[in-house]
Amino acid sequence: MQHQTIPVGQFLLDVQNPRHEPVDSQRDAIVVLIGTERQKLVVLANDIAEYGLSPIDRMLVIRNGRNFTVVEGNRRLAAVKILANPDLAEDTVIESAIRRVARDADVPTEVDCAVAPSRDNAEHWMVLRHAGEAEGAGVVRWNAFATNRFSHKPGTQAARAIRFLEAVAAGFPDNEVISELSARVAEKRLTTLGRLVGDPNFRDRIGLMEEDGEMLFHFPASVLQDSLEHVLGDLAADVTVSRLKSKAQREEYLEGTPEPPQKARTGDAKPLSEAPSDKPSKPAKKSKPKKTRPHRPFHDVDLNDLGAKTQAILREFRRLDVDKMPHTAAILVRAILELAVDEFIRSKGMRYDQKFKKRVAACLQKVDPTNKDARFQALRTGLQDGTSPTPWRRSTRSSITRTTTPTERLSGALRTTWRSS
């Protein structure tokens, strides 16, 4: 495969680009990429305008007469073309943004490329780039630890949390529960964990000390398993920084966590990996036909971006015993959903409809304008078939019974909506 610097004017977009259905012309290829990428293309164009094209990602091209068809790098090429000629974005949703970015852009005029002999020869490299890790041959993306390790400087709470999670992972290499919980905490509660790890009471409770940047423990891993699983499980679920902000709050929280027996404390502190857990992970209990208490609604939904009124109602709701107060719980569920939907509508400047069902449908259309996202199919079905938006029903035994309803589907949609917004 040859490497060559090629003028942008000799590039052709791939009309057979896998990102969209085949098209007939270069203009159609531009239009369909704008239609599918929308604001993501603006973000890419802005990044190219500020930093230039990535030096670690060559475009992959094949010869097409005197020109070259780009088989890998069509988004980048489209961004460069519309920066050089904003009229290509005329009458599209990104026209005004592209014209603004293009005013001060230093647009690349030539690009370093790899020239493949044919499309078949290029296919192998395209598969490795886009079709997953391929057991290590493809692009292996950073996990949550690697991402946060790159993003956070030494000395920060996040950096302390990363070192703590790495120490725990080394002590429990075969514990799938701790591994999964650690990944979740690394994704969304890193600074909260760092705040807790830095607390003297917590450190004394689990026998933690630091020496030359290394996490050492006065308890063996087997003794700490229950305590660590409990704390990581709380952080992976609903214990946020607001519950651990002050010293008093942390003291109150720690009182409810398992405490390792002091008789197991050792005089010398060692890495958890030197005393691996000899306590096996708790096996999954065999399913038995028995009554189980259902999860309360929103137990895994992050609504921290909502207003103070909604947060206050949500806090009160989570303290309710829904088995004893089913009607109150049902009313609060409806109130929280309506407030969440209304706040989203206001934040996006959308049209307000008096009917709740139509407001939910409008939010869904905003989140998934293509109506094709599989994550929201259940919600779309629920809106169409007219099922009740209440996620709880009374059973003949006067207890709360869980059902699969549009409200639970809406919970997932709300979670995705607020994270993306």
Asked if 125 and 149 sit in the same domain, the reply is: no
Domains in the chain: how many in total? 3
- The span from the CA of 392 to the CA of 11, in Å, is 58
Residue 345 in domain = yes
pLDDT of the chain, 421 residues: tens digit per residue: 889 999 999 999 999 988 888 999 999 999 999 988 888 899 899 999 988 998 888 899 999 999 999 999 999 999 999 999 999 999 888 898 999 999 888 899 999 999 999 998 888 888 877 776 655 665 656 555 555 555 555 667 778 888 888 888 888 888 888 888 888 888 878 888 888 888 899 999 989 988 877 889 999 988 888 888 888 888 888 788 888 888 888 888 888 888 899 898 988 888 888 754 444 445 555 555 545 455 555 655 666 666 777 777 777 777 777 777 778 878 888 888 888 888 888 888 888 888 888 888 888 888 888 887 777 777 777 777 665 443 433 333 333 334 444 444 444 444 444 444 4
The pLDDT tens digits for 268-283 are 888 888 754 444 445 5
Amino acid at 337: L
Asked if 152 and 252 sit in the same domain, the reply is: yes
pLDDT for residue 394: 36
Alpha-carbon distances of 410 from 130, 225, 247, 302, 398, rounded to whole Å:
31, 36, 36, 13, 26
Name the average pLDDT for the chain: 78
Asked if 249 and 219 sit in the same domain, the reply is: yes
Q: Phi then psi for 382, rounded to 5 degrees?
A: -65, -35
pLDDT for residue 62: 93
Give the range of the structural domain holding residue 256, as residue numbers without chain letter: 144-274
Asked if 131 and 15 sit in the same domain, the reply is: yes
pLDDT for residue 414: 47
pLDDT for residue 151: 52
- The span from the CA of 336 to the CA of 331, in Å, is 9
| Cα radius of gyration rounded to whole Å, the chain | 27
Asked if 176 and 66 sit in the same domain, the reply is: no
Inter-axis angle of helices 326-348 and 356-367, nearest 10: 50
Asked if 132 and 225 sit in the same domain, the reply is: no
- The span from the CA of 198 to the CA of 260, in Å, is 19
Q: Among all chains, which residue has been given the structure tokens 């309506």?
A: 338
Question: For the chain, what's the residue count?
Answer: 421
pLDDT for residue 153: 58
